[in-house]
Chains A and B, each alone.
Chain A
């Protein structure tokens, strides 16, 4: 009650740009991508739907982030940064702790452990609820992980951006309006798919196409459970402590 309606992000030019992006996505879908170029032995034509979806959502995400409702306050930025830093510390611990696990398992089973590296993306978005929060939080976490030192070095930073994008796409698709359990699970899945694809490109390019697919699916499952469900539970518990009161996620709680 007595909650102020945030200014609608969809007015004037912003609306046209968003509609344009969606139209471009539809256009890609209607015309279809060429089958002569292939990715992992999959003709690009088979990827028409995901690519069309991506183009549409990216447009929506970018326009939404310019809206006033999407403007980051200082407290949003600092808390997302702090979550990223805490995530980076947990990465640093997990990088070491998961080594025996990862070496005991061969791909595609080893993708089970990736979920831990994805949780800051979903957590950041759930807590600060701003466009780009997933990418930003994950990027900070990954950068710290690289700074502390890990076996992947600087490419950790690229990973962070791509993983964050995977989760971000889901929040953008839902117009940054939904931060519930289902959204959270989907965002975990998105991040999982992103890291799965990246791993198969960079680390296991020689795997058979079928195994790559299984790898991506396993990574997605890991993302859903650890990053999606885990972050959602964590956000609920954090909200109960009152620590989120200055943030958008704390404000939806009942007044006490």
Chain B
């Protein structure tokens, strides 16, 4: 059974509408991708990039999902759905799909089994499975034996394992849907290098979706920009497309190379401009602080001495697993110190006592606000509007408990916040249905609703596009100017640089 070479992709007037949507995700798409071509697929959020990849992988079926299809999408002249089924029966794959979420791409409990899973489904004879598994694992430079448990792998290791599972099937076209968006910089580098090696080795083509374009450029021959609900907006070699479409791409959230990339975005929010510090009085003081997550025996962070000051930023950075987030959670009063002390000043505590972790949740929320890495962890209400009202209500009921009266947040206050974070048109939407960038803005807005003096953010720019990044950065600078303290745990070098200009950096 010889593996066929890279396939030819053709879309003719192709369109897809999801069963629950009124608008078409993709419509009127005409596109031809030559065998072995390496294409970067760009477009604003909602332009149907992921839908196109799912379609190419042969996973969209109007009969099964109730969606609507127009036109044709062909791979080597065969409809993609049929191409997938024929390939499975023939014992190899035409396309290989790698998605964003590392956790959702591990299927089985042992590394070897996970790679073998696809081979089994393609009915590869038992005797050929294990040699192929070993070859695929070697191909991605996987450091563990086949019996190793998938439970404890890091995100980057998981993505490489998933890639091995895909490669074992010998696909001629890799479909990569933001494969490094949820990885730390080291993990992302490794995955990218692995993909580069694999493309070189196999001669396979690839279609890549990615916002952070720069590091991928050496791999790419062609850039295709999709228009939301429409066809192709721009198409050509990377140099030309980036030069001609700088502004529209930046508006779509792409970190446009040559436009200064992220530092371009940072430039717009004023790195280096020293904001006049308001106050600078200490709000939180850590002495010999050791921090750990619930259920953790050994604290990964020990002997931290630092001061969080009004109007000043504190960037917590360090290698993967150094405990950046763990320290942030402790500073936010969400975990008890494992050792040492975290003391709130009287100015911050306002009578609630010196230990933030002992404050009632209703007290905490008006003093220290925390933005989690995944906004979905913090959603508690059925609409955006109600989501913003929750914090002020909690504060009010806390005050009521103490003083017998309180004024809950007014509608106008909430309206103001919605406008400030460009969420006003979504006031009645369910928070879970928002896009990634909108969810991030909402999670920040919910924290601002209770006007805490200290803001703690855990990887706030994680997986965000350039536009959300710039908006978030501008907002943080503005808040610092208002005299808030900003603490951010992050591995985003540009964000660290920005915050360093307004305060200090702690490297773990």
On A, residues with C-beta under 8 Å from B are 2-4, 73, 237, 240-243, 245-246, 250-251, 253, 255-256
Please list 9 pairs of residues, one from A and one from B, whose beta carbons are closer than 8 Å in the complex, sorted by A's number: A2-B68, A4-B66, A240-B430, A240-B433, A242-B433, A245-B18, A245-B20, A250-B19, A256-B433
CB atoms of A250 and B20 under 8 A apart: yes
Chain A interface mostly: loop
CB atoms of A256 and B22 under 8 A apart: yes
Q: How far is the CA of A253 from the CA of B430 in the complex (A)?
A: 14
| Interface-central residue, B19, B22, B65, B430, by most chain A CB under 10 Å | B19
The 8 closest A-B pairs by CB, nearest first: A241-B432, A242-B433, A255-B22, A245-B20, A251-B19, A240-B430, A251-B66, A73-B64
CB atoms of B433 and A241 under 8 A apart: yes
Report B-chain residues with C-beta under 8 Å of the C-beta of A251.
Answer: 19-20, 66
Report B-chain residues with C-beta under 8 Å of the C-beta of A255.
Answer: 20-22
Report A-chain residues with C-beta under 8 Å of the C-beta of B382.
Answer: 237, 240
Q: How far is the CA of A237 from the CA of B383 in the complex (A)?
A: 11
B324–chain A nearest beta-carbon distance, Å: 28
Q: How far is the CA of A245 from the CA of B430 in the complex (A)?
A: 14
Candidates A4, A73, A256; contact of B20 at CB < 8 Å? A256
Given contacts A2-B68, A3-B66, A237-B382, contact A245 B19 (CB under 8 A): yes
CB atoms of A242 and B68 under 8 A apart: no
Report B-chain residues with C-beta under 8 Å of the C-beta of A3.
Answer: 66
B63 sits at the interface (CB 8 A): yes
Residue in B closest to A245 when the chains form the complex, CB atoms = B20
B237 sits at the interface (CB 8 A): no
Q: How far is the CA of A243 from the CA of B376 in the complex (A)?
A: 12
CB atoms of B65 and A242 under 8 A apart: no
B191–chain A nearest beta-carbon distance, Å: 25
B429–chain A nearest beta-carbon distance, Å: 9
B62 sits at the interface (CB 8 A): yes
User: What 1/0 flags go to B433-453 for Cβ under 8 Å of A?
Assistant: 100000000000000000000
Q: A240-B433, A242-B430 are in contact. List 18 more A-B contacts (CB 8 A).
A: A4-B62, A4-B63, A4-B66, A237-B382, A240-B382, A240-B432, A241-B432, A241-B433, A242-B20, A242-B433, A243-B432, A245-B18, A245-B19, A251-B20, A251-B66, A255-B20, A255-B22, A256-B22
Q: How far is the CA of A253 from the CA of B432 in the complex (A)?
A: 15
Q: How far is the CA of A242 from the CA of B19 in the complex (A)?
A: 12
User: What 1/0 flags go to B417-433 for Cβ under 8 Å of A?
Assistant: 00000000000001011
Report B-chain residues with C-beta under 8 Å of the C-beta of A2.
Answer: 68
A129–chain B nearest beta-carbon distance, Å: 12
Report A-chain residues with C-beta under 8 Å of the C-beta of B432.
Answer: 240-243
CB atoms of A256 and B66 under 8 A apart: no
Residue in B closest to A73 when the chains form the complex, CB atoms = B64
A248–chain B nearest beta-carbon distance, Å: 8
Report B-chain residues with C-beta under 8 Å of the C-beta of A256.
Answer: 20-22, 433
Interface size of B by CB at 8 A reads 15
Interfacial residues of chain B within 135-163, with CB under 8 A of chain A in the complex: none
Q: How far is the CA of A246 from the CA of B67 in the complex (A)?
A: 10
Q: How far is the CA of A100 from the CA of B65 in the complex (A)?
A: 46
On B, residues with C-beta under 8 Å from A are 18-22, 62-66, 68, 382, 430, 432-433
B221–chain A nearest beta-carbon distance, Å: 33
Q: How far is the CA of A3 from the CA of B18 in the complex (A)?
A: 11
Report A-chain residues with C-beta under 8 Å of the C-beta of B22.
Answer: 255-256
Report B-chain residues with C-beta under 8 Å of the C-beta of A73.
Answer: 64-65
A68–chain B nearest beta-carbon distance, Å: 9
CB atoms of A241 and B20 under 8 A apart: no
A91–chain B nearest beta-carbon distance, Å: 20
Residue in A closest to B382 when the chains form the complex, CB atoms = A240
Candidates B18, B19, B65, B430; contact of A241 at CB < 8 Å? B430
Candidates B63, B65, B430; contact of A246 at CB < 8 Å? B65
Q: How far is the CA of A243 from the CA of B19 in the complex (A)?
A: 13
Report A-chain residues with C-beta under 8 Å of the C-beta of B433.
Answer: 240-242, 256
Q: How far is the CA of A256 from the CA of B18 in the complex (A)?
A: 10
Q: How far is the CA of A240 from the CA of B429 in the complex (A)?
A: 9
B117–chain A nearest beta-carbon distance, Å: 13
Q: How far is the CA of A34 from the CA of B433 in the complex (A)?
A: 58
B439–chain A nearest beta-carbon distance, Å: 12
CB atoms of B66 and A253 under 8 A apart: no
Candidates B20, B63, B64, B68; contact of A253 at CB < 8 Å? B20
A60–chain B nearest beta-carbon distance, Å: 24
Q: How far is the CA of A68 from the CA of B479 in the complex (A)?
A: 58
Q: How far is the CA of A73 from the CA of B62 in the complex (A)?
A: 13
Report A-chain residues with C-beta under 8 Å of the C-beta of B21.
Answer: 255-256
Q: How far is the CA of A241 from the CA of B21 in the complex (A)?
A: 14
Report B-chain residues with C-beta under 8 Å of the C-beta of A253.
Answer: 20
Residue in B closest to A1 when the chains form the complex, CB atoms = B22
Q: How far is the CA of A3 from the CA of B22 in the complex (A)?
A: 12
A61–chain B nearest beta-carbon distance, Å: 22
Q: How far is the CA of A112 from the CA of B430 in the complex (A)?
A: 34
Residue in A closest to B66 when the chains form the complex, CB atoms = A251
Q: How far is the CA of A52 from the CA of B62 in the complex (A)?
A: 40
Report A-chain residues with C-beta under 8 Å of the C-beta of B65.
Answer: 73, 246
Q: How far is the CA of A240 from the CA of B428 in the complex (A)?
A: 11
B380–chain A nearest beta-carbon distance, Å: 12
Residue in A closest to B376 when the chains form the complex, CB atoms = A241
Residue in B closest to A241 when the chains form the complex, CB atoms = B432
B273–chain A nearest beta-carbon distance, Å: 41
Report B-chain residues with C-beta under 8 Å of the C-beta of A242.
Answer: 20, 430, 432-433
Residue in A closest to B65 when the chains form the complex, CB atoms = A246
Q: How far is the CA of A246 from the CA of B63 in the complex (A)?
A: 13
| Interface-central residue, B64, B66, B68, B433, by most chain A CB under 10 Å | B66
Residue in A closest to B19 when the chains form the complex, CB atoms = A251
Q: How far is the CA of A243 from the CA of B20 in the complex (A)?
A: 11
B127–chain A nearest beta-carbon distance, Å: 27
Q: How far is the CA of A73 from the CA of B19 in the complex (A)?
A: 15
Q: How far is the CA of A146 from the CA of B206 in the complex (A)?
A: 45
Residue in A closest to B429 when the chains form the complex, CB atoms = A256
Q: How far is the CA of A252 from the CA of B21 in the complex (A)?
A: 11
Report B-chain residues with C-beta under 8 Å of the C-beta of A246.
Answer: 65
A38–chain B nearest beta-carbon distance, Å: 49
Q: How far is the CA of A73 from the CA of B61 in the complex (A)?
A: 11
A241–chain B nearest beta-carbon distance, Å: 4
Report B-chain residues with C-beta under 8 Å of the C-beta of A243.
Answer: 432
A256–chain B nearest beta-carbon distance, Å: 6
Q: How far is the CA of A240 from the CA of B433 in the complex (A)?
A: 8
B101–chain A nearest beta-carbon distance, Å: 14
Q: How far is the CA of A256 from the CA of B433 in the complex (A)?
A: 10
Q: How far is the CA of A223 from the CA of B205 in the complex (A)?
A: 55
A6–chain B nearest beta-carbon distance, Å: 9
| Interface-central residue, A73, A246, A250, by most chain B CB under 10 Å | A246
Q: How far is the CA of A251 from the CA of B64 in the complex (A)?
A: 12
Q: How far is the CA of A250 from the CA of B18 in the complex (A)?
A: 11
